[in-house]
């Protein structure tokens, strides 16, 4: 019986439910020193001096370190694989502490103390003198001549520009009779808001530095800490315990380098850095705010004659993941709605905002909003139903992308759209809602997305795996693709049980807490890669383990290797299915055979040179109270083709989480800044409005299981895709209800009031009709 495709209970469910699971803070040694960071209180300028005397006089303060004490060399922070090609390495633009302040909240000093209170008092006692400079928050204003410059060597603050040219856009738009659909679309700065704030601790042991961190990328963090401290990478050991969510924020070196350096400055003692919630909003990472300008030229039948897309990505103060996010966003446009004549330009621009990095969806929630908002306008321009338009012009079966090598092997988009249409009762409700003319109006909206699986060919994709046959016939498995709360360990257990031939996924012991001294090299949790990428090394390593097991079984049974198989934890003869011995019997015999002892293990590395399209869509049903400028989400469904499901229950949970994030992105969440000072205005969970259970209708998740031909287990991306198409579906439902196109998110009452007033929908007659 297959071990994959079944809704099994998570392997960590009991420990998490009972509080036994150990996170980084649970592993903290007694007596660890507290490090608290002094953050800049200007948006741009230089630190002229820091008076430490008052801080150093506080009882309990052990050391005060400032931006004048740190090593001079810069380092990168992005959680990308390392490249031996300098041209493909991340931008190194950051110090451990910064004299040149580039945003309100920049790290300029750190106080290390015996207790938290003393550390916090020490931070408040520091007296900082600044040389203030003009600052810029808007992405396009930062590109203007004369704008404040954040980094040397990047004229007009442009970190990078890239383009796509396909066909002949200028010639194509000369065709008579074309219909022009043009729009500007804005997506906001948001923060991940994972349950567990980032934290880490570090100490020296035997001449090396040990860092225990809540991170998605332990092997990459080892390299970055080594770079930041100017130490050989082998001098660094990173241990990743269970973590309480990351969503991309922890796909970056946040405070691990600073924490490690602090330990070296206090004689190797253990030093801890624990971020407050306010610090996660400002001094960790945020999602890129991207502004899009789209010009679509249509034939009268609605087909796209030509398209021009400009993308302006607000990078904030430091490069972090940099241009890769907006480059991916731009690359999505000519694929989901193919166009023979396309011009695309993408700019990543430094501004005096918090550094933007990876966040669930990696540029695609932004692109999906702009693209599907524009596509709804295209449908309207030619008098077509928005769903009909997508059915006709969205990526067809057989589409191939030359860069990634991805192929659409199935008619996945239309399969997904048909499922969503049936659930939402699209035709029936659209006709019913068209009759609404009063203050309360209802609407149906749809949006679609595609997503890559993993990062090939942009950068390295590799996965290593180690399996050990235990004396009781179970298997211990280690890999570097990390569990970050999404249920990856359970999927790995199921795949391993399937590939080795064990009786149950419970016969696999996944070592969840990675240790770079022990765990085979893996790149971590990002790019919706884990199940797909780990599948290659799991299958390969399991094959090697099986070969070793059967080779030893030959010695004990005198059967040829080819005559045997491993089924449900037993060595069986293929011809008649007879059980020859159990794996437990074999393992015990092999280990304690005085004449021929062997501890049977296997380890391998697989370099992945494939990618895979993942597809899906969202349908949203809304009710709009025009007078109150309020939107109620009545019904929502996500439909995904993420290939074969390893664990359907976990897949559904993944989709629900992503849908929740998408609802917040579309309707409530946005990090705001004071235009006069650059100071964040809502860096806390009181003022930053997260969508909650009370804001959600039933979250419906359905699947189209088209097995991915390039995948060992038929899987492809699912972790990030659910966050992509929710916001534009809600936006398009509001358009359908009111006729008003909102071209920014989040769509809040303030935004609706302005747009409804402009459209003439807000007037006193509503109050008169209601008798008020």
Mean pLDDT value across residues 52-56:
98
Determine the 3-state secondary structure of 649 from DSSP: helix
Which residue do the tokens 């380098």 mark?
257
Q: What is the mean pLDDT of the chain?
A: 96
Residues 344-370 have a mean pLDDT of 98
Tokens representing residue 427 in the block: 């035709």
Contact yes or no for 352/135 (Cβ under 8 A)? yes
Inform me whether the pLDDT recorded for 604 exceeds 70. Answer: yes
β partners of residue 432? none
pLDDT of 700-712, one tens digit each? Answer: 999 999 999 999 9
Radius of gyration of the chain (CA): 28
Minimal CA–CA distance to 10: which of 478, 486, 465, 652?
Answer: 486
> Using the 8-state DSSP alphabet, how is residue 439 labeled?
S
Phi-psi map region of 633: left, alpha, beta (phi>0 left; psi -120 to 50 alpha):
beta
User: How far, CA to CA in Å, does 166 sit from each of 169, 306, 326, 681?
Assistant: 8, 10, 18, 43
Q: Which two tokens stand for residue 471?
A: 């004396």
Q: Measure the CA–CA gap between 361 and 6, rounded to whole angstroms.
A: 26
Beta carbons of 523 and 222 less than 8 angstroms apart: no
Peptide bond into 746 cis (omega under 30): yes
pLDDT on residue 695: 86
- The number of beta carbons lying within 10 Å of the beta carbon of residue 767 is 11
Three-state secondary-structure class, residue 748: coil
Encode pLDDT of 547-589 as tens digits.
999 999 999 999 999 999 999 999 999 999 999 999 999 999 9
**What pLDDT is stored for residue 602 in this prediction?**
98
Report pLDDT for 319: 98
Q: Which of 66, 40, 36 is nearest to 52 (CA)?
A: 66
Name the band, by pLDDT with cuts 50, 70 and 90, for residue 765: low
Predicted pLDDT of residue 764: 62
Q: What token pair was written down for 730?
A: 């809600």
Please tell me the predicted confidence (pLDDT) of residue 761. 95
Residue 772, pLDDT score:
42
Give dist(CA 402, CA 649) in Å, integer. Answer: 35
Check residue 771 and give its pLDDT.
45
String of b and e for 446-485 (b: at least 16 CB within 10 Å)? bbbbbbbbbbbebebbbbbbbbbbbeebbbebbbbbbbbb
Contact 448/613 with Cβ under 8 angstroms? no
Global confidence as pTM = 0.96
Going by pLDDT thresholds of 50, 70 and 90, the confidence category of residue 694 is confident
**CA–CA distance, 486 with 66 (Å, rounded to integer):** 38
Instruction: Tell how far CA 218 is from the center of its chain.
Output: 16
How would you class 625 by CB atoms within 10 Å of its CB: exposed for 0-12, middle for 13-18, buried for 19 or more? Answer: middle
pLDDT at 691: 87
| Per-residue confidence band for 1, with pLDDT thresholds at 50, 70 and 90 | confident
pLDDT at 135 over 90: yes
Report helix, strand and coil shares of the chain as percent, to nearest 5.
30, 25, 45
Task: Judge whether residue 304 has pLDDT over 80.
Answer: yes
Instruction: Convert the pLDDT of each residue in 261-296 to its tens digit.
Output: 999 999 999 999 999 999 999 999 999 999 999 999
Mind listing the pLDDT tens digit for each residue in 182-199? 999 999 999 999 999 999
Non-local CB neighbours of 578 within 8 Å, separated by 6+ positions: 572
């Amino acid at each position: 019986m297959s071990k994959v495709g079944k809704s099994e209970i998570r392997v960590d469910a009991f420990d998490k439910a009972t509080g036994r699971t150990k996170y980084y803070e649970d592993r903290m040694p007694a007596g660890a020193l507290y490090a608290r960071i002094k953050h800049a209180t200007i948006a741009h300028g230089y630190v002229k001096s820091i008076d430490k005397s008052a801080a150093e006089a506080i009882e309990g303060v052990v050391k005060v370190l400032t931006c004048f004490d740190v090593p001079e060399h810069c380092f990168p922070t992005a959680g990308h694989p390392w490249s031996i090609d300098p041209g493909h390495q991340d931008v190194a633009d950051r110090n451990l502490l910064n004299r040149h302040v580039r945003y309100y909240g920049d790290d300029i000093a750190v106080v290390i103390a015996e207790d938290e209170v003393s550390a916090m008092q020490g931070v408040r006692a520091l007296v900082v003198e600044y040389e203030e400079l003009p600052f810029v928050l808007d992405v396009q204003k930062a590109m203007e001549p004369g704008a404040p410059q954040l980094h040397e060597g990047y004229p007009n603050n442009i970190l990078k520009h890239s383009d796509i040219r396909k066909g002949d856009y200028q010639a194509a738009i000369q065709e008579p009779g074309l219909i022009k659909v043009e729009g500007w679309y804005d997506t906001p700065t948001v923060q991940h808001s994972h349950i567990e704030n980032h934290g880490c601790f570090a100490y020296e042991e035997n001449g090396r530095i040990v860092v225990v961190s809540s991170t998605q990328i332990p092997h990459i963090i080892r390299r970055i800490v080594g770079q930041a401290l100017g130490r050989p990478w082998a001098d660094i050991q990173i241990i990743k315990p269970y973590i309480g969510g990351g969503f991309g924020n922890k796909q970056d070196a946040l405070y691990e380098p600073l924490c490690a350096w602090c330990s070296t400055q206090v004689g190797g003692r253990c030093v801890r850095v624990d971020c407050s919630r306010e610090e996660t909003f400002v001094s960790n990472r945020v999602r890129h705010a991207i502004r899009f300008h789209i010009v679509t030229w249509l034939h009268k039948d609605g087909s796209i004659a030509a398209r021009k897309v400009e993308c302006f990505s607000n990078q904030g103060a430091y490069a972090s993941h940099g241009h890769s996010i907006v480059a991916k966003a731009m690359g999505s446009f000519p694929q989901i709605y193919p166009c023979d004549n396309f011009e695309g330009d993408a700019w990543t621009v430094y501004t005096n905002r918090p550094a933007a990095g990876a966040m669930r969806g990696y540029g695609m929630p932004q692109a999906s909003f702009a693209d599907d908002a524009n596509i709804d306008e295209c449908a309207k321009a030619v008098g077509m139903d928005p769903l009909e338009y997508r059915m006709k012009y969205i990526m067809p079966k057989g589409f191939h992308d030359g860069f990634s090598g991805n192929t659409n092997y199935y008619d996945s988009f239309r399969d997904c759209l048909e499922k969503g249409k049936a659930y939402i009762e699209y035709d029936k409700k659209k006709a019913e809602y068209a009759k609404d003319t009063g203050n309360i109006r209802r609407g149906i909206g749809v949006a679609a997305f595609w997503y890559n699986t993993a990062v090939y060919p942009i950068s390295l994709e590799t996965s290593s795996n180690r399996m050990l046959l235990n004396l009781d016939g179970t298997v211990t498995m280690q890999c570097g693709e990390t569990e970050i709360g999404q249920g990856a360990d359970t999927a790995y257990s199921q795949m391993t049980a399937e590939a080795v031939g064990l009786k149950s996924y419970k016969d696999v012991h996944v070592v969840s807490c990675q240790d770079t001294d022990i765990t085979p090299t893996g790149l971590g949790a990002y790019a919706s890669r884990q199940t797909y990428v780990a599948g290659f090394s799991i299958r390969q390593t399991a094959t090697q383990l099986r070969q070793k097991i059967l080779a030893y079984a030959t010695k004990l049974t005198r059967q040829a290797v080819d005559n045997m198989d491993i089924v449900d934890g037993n060595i069986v003869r293929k011809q008649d299915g007879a059980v020859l011995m159990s794996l437990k019997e074999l393992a015990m015999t092999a280990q304690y055979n005085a004449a021929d002892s062997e501890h049977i293990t296997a380890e391998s590395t697989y370099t992945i040179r494939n990618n895979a399209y993942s597809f899906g869509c969202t349908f949203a049903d809304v009710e709009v109270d025009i007078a109150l400028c309020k939107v109620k989400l009545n019904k929502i469904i996500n439909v995904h083709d993420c290939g074969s499901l390893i664990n359907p229950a976990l897949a559904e949970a993944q989709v629900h989480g992503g849908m929740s994030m998408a609802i917040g992105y579309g309707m409530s969440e946005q990090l705001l800044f004071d235009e006069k000072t650059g100071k964040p205005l809502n860096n806390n969970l009181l003022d930053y409005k997260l969508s909650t259970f009370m804001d959600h209708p039933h979250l419906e998740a359905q699947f189209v299981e088209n097995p991915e031909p390039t995948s060992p287990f038929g899987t492809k991306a699912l972790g990030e895709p659910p966050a992509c198409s929710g916001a534009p579906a809600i936006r398009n439902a509001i358009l359908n209800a009111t006729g008003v196109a909102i071209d920014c998110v989040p769509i809040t009452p303030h935004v609706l009031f302005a747009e409804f007033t402009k459209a003439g929908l807000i007037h006193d007659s509503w109050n008169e009709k209601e008798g008020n």
